[in-house]
Amino acid sequence: MLKRVTGLVLAAIIAPCHAATETTLTSITRTLVTDDERFGGCMVHLDVDLRTDLGLDCDSNWVTFSCNGEHTDATAAQRMFDSAMVAFVTDRKVYVWVTDENEKKHDNRCHVSRIDVTRHDVEDD
């Protein structure tokens, strides 16, 4: 009995520690830029439920590019955010690669490691 309880407790502790990266086609509904270190300096809100639809451990649908350079080169992060802004103002869809890795989160918001702006609403091979 004790072994079974111990196994269940260990499974409950280890399961949430598994980081994942998922890719999705979505729209950007809002943008955010801060003048300090909060949220990594820049974020966007995605029109997808990261927790329900993708199974990621993200507190919200806001994702960070880490424009302050903490988890991504600041120049590359700013380019990704610029691409997100282009998609936002032109109402284009984006493919985003989102990770829920704790070491890459800012204020518990998941991190985007890649963004592709597309002209199509369907997947291209």
Q: Residue 15: what pLDDT? A: 45
Q: Which residue has the tokens 């869809």?
A: 93
pLDDT above 90 (res 81):
yes
How many CB atoms lie under 10 A from the CB of residue 52?
8
- Domain ranges (residues) in the chain: 20-118
Residue range 20-118 in CATH 2.60.40.1230 = no
pLDDT above 50 (res 14):
no
pTM given for the model: 0.79
pLDDT above 70 (res 79):
yes
Average pLDDT value over all residues in the chain: 84
Q: Do the beta carbons of residue 23 and residue 63 sit within 8 Å?
A: no
Among residues 32, 23, 22, 25, the alpha carbon closest in space to that of 119 is found at 25
